């Protein structure tokens, strides 16, 4: 009986960082935290958006852009996944776009052999302006056009994941378009200003309306460029309950996905089957 229960559960982890303008420094920290997650028994680990670089200016990431499947960032990530025998969702890295002055903000997924098995280019680009803050991602980022998802099989059990990044969280139609998944993965670098009011409620809403787990991996603190990110990486269950979270600072959270919990929620309140539009 215990063996059956274990095969219907999957231990996962989310990394929280306060990334700097130093690529190597960020990669070393990510590697240490991923190893700690792997040592804890996690089979899938998620990194936050911009984990590899939080530049002094927005154009810094353009100088680090890599071609798909080639470059030091991707090579290091593949090696880390292989060394730790995990599935690694690499929050976002800058990949080449058609325009030379822009990048694609891309999540890549690596399997335990270090092979890239999925890719998602961020579709929705953040724009926000107050008297003291201004963000306009479209100035340095080209939008993606295709939703992203992937499936893994562990102990003969299939697990399906949806991919999205940060600002995507505000667009529920993206999540609906992916159909039924076991868990939506959301790496982010939410600003403190928007995060304090909207982060938790949006994450819980995506979990409740899609009756699935939501695992977020965030930037969380004051960065060298003086940007302040909200943090609060968390795992939410299909009923919308927060299972674990990390409010601020670098570190990691771990938790367990349960097929039994997914089935329980979807059977007692079959909202996904009640859809009319």
Task: Determine the pLDDT at residue 106.
Answer: 98
pLDDT digits (tens, 9 = 90+) for 153-174: 999 999 999 999 999 999 999 9
For the four alpha carbons of 166, 185, 183 and 265, in that order, the dihedral sign comes to negative
Q: Which of 49, 96, 137, 250 is catalytic?
A: 49
212 in catalytic set: no
The pLDDT of 225-248, averaged and rounded, is: 98
Q: Mind listing the domains of the chain with CATH numbers?
A: 2-274 (3.60.110.10)
Joined together, the tokens standing for residue 268 give 């007692």
Sign of CA dihedral 235, 241, 243, 247: positive
- In the set 43, 61, 102, 166, the catalytic residue is 166
Tracing tokens 């309950």 back to the chain, one arrives at 241
- Catalytic (active site) residue 57: no
Q: What is the pLDDT of residue 4?
A: 47
Region 78-84: mean pLDDT is 98
What's the rounded mean pLDDT across residues 36-56?
A: 98
Task: Measure CA of the first residue to CA of the last residue in the chain; give whole Å.
Answer: 41
Out of 102, 122, 137, 183, which one is annotated catalytic? 122
Distance CA 76, CA 83 (A): 10
């Amino acid at each position: 009986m215990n063996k059956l229960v274990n095969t219907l559960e999957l231990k996962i982890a989310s990394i929280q960082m306060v990334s700097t303008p130093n690529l190597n420094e960020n990669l070393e920290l990510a590697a240490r935290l991923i190893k700690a997650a792997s040592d804890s028994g996690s089979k899938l680990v998620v990194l936050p958006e911009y984990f590899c670089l939080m530049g002094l200016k927005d154009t810094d990431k353009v100088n680090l852009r890599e071609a798909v499947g080639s470059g030091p960032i991707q090579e290091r990530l593949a090696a880390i996944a292989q060394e730790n025998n995990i599935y690694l969702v690499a929050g976002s890295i800058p990949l080449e776009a058609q325009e030379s002055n822009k990048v694609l903000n891309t999540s890549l997924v690596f399997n335990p052999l270090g092979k890239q098995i999925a890719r998602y280019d961020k579709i929705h680009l953040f724009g926000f302006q107050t008297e003291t803050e201004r963000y306009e991602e479209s100035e340095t980022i080209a939008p993606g056009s295709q939703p992203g998802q992937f499936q893994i099989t562990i102990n003969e059990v299939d697990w399906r994941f949806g991919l999205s990044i940060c600002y995507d969280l505000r667009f529920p139609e993206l999540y609906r378009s992916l159909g039924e998944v076991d868990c939506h993965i959301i790496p982010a670098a939410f600003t403190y200003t928007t995060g304090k009011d909207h982060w938790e409620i949006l994450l819980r809403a995506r979990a409740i309306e899609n009756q699935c787990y939501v695992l977020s991996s965030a930037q969380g603190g004051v960065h060298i460029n003086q940007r302040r990110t909200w943090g609060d990486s968390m795992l939410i269950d299909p009923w919308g309950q927060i299972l674990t979270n990390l409010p601020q600072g670098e570190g990691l959270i771990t938790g367990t996905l349960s097929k039994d919990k997914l089935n329980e929620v979807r059977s007692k309140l079959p909202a996904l089957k009640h859809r009319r539009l």
